[in-house]
């Protein structure tokens, strides 16, 4: 039976919640200081129906304060343009896309936030009702490991082989490589590898917050479609409602769609070129300083990093000083690679 555990790390400038599934990270939720909470899943609004697009089965609604969202509707539930509806955020905005809402009922007054979304701890608890949320050093270790895995592209499979997960504007592709599984019993190795890939990919897609169209390039040929589809339905069960599968094609691919609920983690953590953003690196540096300060009480610390990372870290330095004392210095080093973060005791 699968076991889920919950972890919550409160760092300077950022809190991270992690859900693990049988000891491996399954979800990573991030809240940064200054983030707007308005458009997170679960928030409710009184929204004005601004424009209808009947051909698309969608309406554009005004949430107030300059925010807009898309309200899908069926022909029999078509809203009236100009009416006020209470809506709930179902999918938060992502790069180039508006938030998606569902209708709750009629509303009155002006467009406005009616109820805020659940907090980070409450959202975590929703994934494992009976689990205790662990904080402190263990939570930080788990969150760091989850973040590193979430940003990886190639992931090993139990028993050998790996999967590569890559995203485009249109879809997410998952390539299954048997690696060391290859041997005399190729068909058996392919079946075991594909089954392992389905389970691992389901967890990793949740960790990376990826949804939409997903295409598996399965290993081998002559697949047992019924067995693989049954395994896929089990693996992606936690993503329901809304998961849909296509048959395995003659090219050995399996297609499915997963509802999008939160923005892809890479959009929060990375630049457009896929490298970690300056803020992501700055927050990692501050956590490293704090961890070193806890390991060496009373020691003065010196951190070195790229200039852009230092600039991103300095506004949060005062917050860190309140936690460990003003016993650290952040130095910008023009010769340091931007991904390299150094912390040492003086």
The pLDDT, as a whole number, for residue 222 is: 86
- Kindly list the distances between the CA atom of residue 41 and the CA atoms of 86, 148, 166, 330, in Å, as whole numbers in the listed order: 14, 25, 25, 37
The pLDDT, as a whole number, for residue 185 is: 80
Q: What mean pLDDT is predicted for residues 298-312?
A: 95
Burial class (CB in 10 A: 0-12, 13-18, 19+), 266: middle
The pLDDT, as a whole number, for residue 181 is: 66
**CATH class label, 275-345:** alpha beta
**Of 330, 326, 329, 331, the residue nearest 298 (C-alpha):** 326
Spatial strand order of the sheet with 253-258 comes to 154-156, 162-167, 172-177, 212-217, 253-258, 244-245
Q: What mean pLDDT is predicted for residues 192-216?
A: 97
pLDDT band at 10; cut points 50, 70, 90: very high
The pLDDT, as a whole number, for residue 198 is: 97
Question: pLDDT above 70 covers what percent of the chain?
Answer: 99
Q: In this structure, are residues 205 and 172 in contact, taking their beta carbons and an 8 Å threshold?
A: yes
**Residue showing tokens 């919950």:** 6
Whether 119 has a pLDDT exceeding 70, the answer reads yes
63-111 pLDDT tens trace: 999 999 999 999 999 999 999 999 999 999 988 899 999 999 999 999 9
How far apart (Å, rounded) are the C-alpha atoms in residues 340 and 147? 16
How far apart (Å, rounded) are the C-alpha atoms in residues 67 and 88? 13
Q: In this structure, are residues 138 and 7 in contact, taking their beta carbons and an 8 Å threshold?
A: yes
121-148 pLDDT tens trace: 999 999 998 899 999 999 999 999 999 9
Q: What angle do CA 19, 22, 24 make, to 5 degrees?
A: 60
Whether 184 has a pLDDT exceeding 90, the answer reads no
The pLDDT, as a whole number, for residue 183 is: 58
pLDDT band at 182; cut points 50, 70, 90: low
What does the mean pLDDT of the chain come to?
A: 94
Domain-wise residue ranges, the chain: 4-36+119-139, 44-115, 151-266, 275-345
More confident residue, 335 or 232: 232
Tell me which of 2.40.390, 3.40.50, 3.40.630, 1.20.272 is the CATH number of domain 151-266.
3.40.630
The pLDDT, as a whole number, for residue 179 is: 84
Question: Which of 24-38, 86-100, 169-183 shows the lowest per-residue confidence on average (mean pLDDT)?
Answer: 169-183
Q: Which fold has domain 44-115?
A: OB fold (Dihydrolipoamide Acetyltransferase, E2P) (2.40.50)
**Of 35, 29, 237, the residue nearest 125 (C-alpha):** 29
pLDDT band at 152; cut points 50, 70, 90: very high
């Amino acid at each position: 039976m699968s076991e889920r555990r919950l972890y919550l790390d409160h760092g300077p400038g950022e809190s991270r919640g992690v859900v693990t599934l049988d000891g491996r990270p399954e979800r990573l939720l991030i809240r940064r200081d200054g983030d707007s909470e308005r458009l997170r899943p679960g928030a409710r609004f009184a929204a004005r129906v601004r424009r209808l697009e009947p051909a698309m089965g969608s309406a554009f609604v005004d949430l107030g304060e300059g925010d807009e969202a898309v309200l899908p509707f069926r022909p029999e539930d078509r809203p009236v343009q100009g009416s006020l509806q209470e809506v709930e955020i179902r999918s938060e905005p992502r790069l180039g896309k508006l938030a998606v809402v569902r209708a709750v009922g009629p509303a009155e007054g002006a467009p406005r936030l009616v109820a805020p979304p659940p907090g980070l701890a409450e959202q975590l608890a929703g994934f494992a009702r009976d689990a205790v949320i662990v904080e402190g050093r263990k939570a930080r270790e788990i969150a760091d490991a989850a973040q590193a895995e979430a940003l990886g592209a190639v992931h090993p499979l139990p028993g050998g082989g790996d999967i590569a997960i890559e995203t485009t504007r249109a879809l997410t592709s998952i390539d299954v490589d048997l690696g060391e599984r290859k041997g005399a019993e190729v068909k058996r190795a392919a079946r075991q590898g594909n089954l392992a890939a389905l389970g691992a990919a389901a967890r990793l897609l949740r960790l990376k917050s990826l949804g939409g169209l997903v295409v598996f390039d399965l290993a081998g040929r002559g697949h047992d479609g019924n067995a693989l589809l049954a395994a896929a339905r089990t693996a992606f069960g936690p993503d329901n409602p809304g998961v849909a599968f296509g048959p395995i094609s003659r090219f050995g691919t399996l297609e499915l769609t997963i509802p999008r609920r939160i923005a892809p983690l890479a959009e929060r953590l990375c630049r457009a070129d896929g490298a970690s953003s300056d803020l992501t690196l700055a927050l990692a540096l501050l956590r490293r300083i704090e961890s070193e300060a806890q390991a060496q009480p009373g020691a003065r610390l010196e951190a070195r990093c790229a200039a852009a990372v230092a600039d991103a870290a300095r506004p949060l330095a005062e917050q860190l000083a309140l936690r460990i004392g003003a016993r650290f210095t952040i130095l910008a080093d023009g010769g340091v690679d931007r991904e390299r973060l150094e912390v040492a005791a003086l």
